[in-house]
Amino acid sequence: GAVVSQHPSRVICKSGTSVKIECRSLDFQATTMFWYRQFPKQSLMLMATSNEGSKATYEQGVEKDKFLINHASLTLSTLTVTSAHPEDSSFYICSARDDRFGRGNVEQYFGPGTRLTVT
């Protein structure tokens, strides 16, 4: 089946530093990837849609200058949390859509998540 990986699985960083999270589709190409944020005991909130070769589309209320998304290849999207603060601590999950099934593909495959803790 389709596998999506994330790296790192957990990261601790100091306030004011930047952290990069990678999302890779391992056995399929993904023009479109999604980044979600999940607070403890809450649901997933879509942050942005990452499109290979073009700018990401951010959801309302998400600061694009703080959460930089780069989708440089068909198998890799990165999320960089810039100038991190303790309130950015969260569980970040990416997902990807398999290009083989066209734009109408309804399935998204999720990564295992990255636990970010900002001290």
Partner 1 sequence: AQSVAQPEDQVNVAEGNPLTVKCTYSVSGNPYLFWYVQYPNRGLQFLLKYITGDNLVKGSYGFEAEFNKSQTSFHLKKPSALVSDSALYFCAVRARMDSSYKLIFGSGTRLLVRP
Q: What are the residues binding partner 1 (CB under 8 A)?
A: 4, 6, 34, 41-44, 46, 49, 57, 91, 93, 95, 106-113, 115
As a whole number of angstroms, the distance between CA 13 and CA 47 comes to 21
Q: Give the shortest CB-16-to-partner 1 separation in angstroms.
A: 26
- Nearest approach in angstroms of CB 107 to partner 1 is 7
Least separation in angstroms between CB 19 and partner 1: 17
Question: If we measure between CA atoms, which residue out of 58, 5, 11, 12 comes closest to residue 30?
Answer: 5
Largest CA distance in the chain: 42
Gap between the Cα atoms of 47 and 67, Å rounded: 9
Residue 91 neighbours by CB under 8 Å, 6+ apart: 37, 38, 39, 40, 113, 114, 115, 116
User: Of 84 and 93, which CB lies nearer to partner 1 in the complex structure?
Assistant: 93
CB closer to partner 1, 9 vs 83: 9
Q: How far is the CB of 89 from partner 1 (least distance, A)?
A: 14
Residue among 16 and 112 whose Cβ is closer to partner 1: 112
Between 23 and 81, name the residue whose CB sits nearer to partner 1. 23
How far is Cα 87 from Cα 14, in angstroms, rounded to an integer?
12
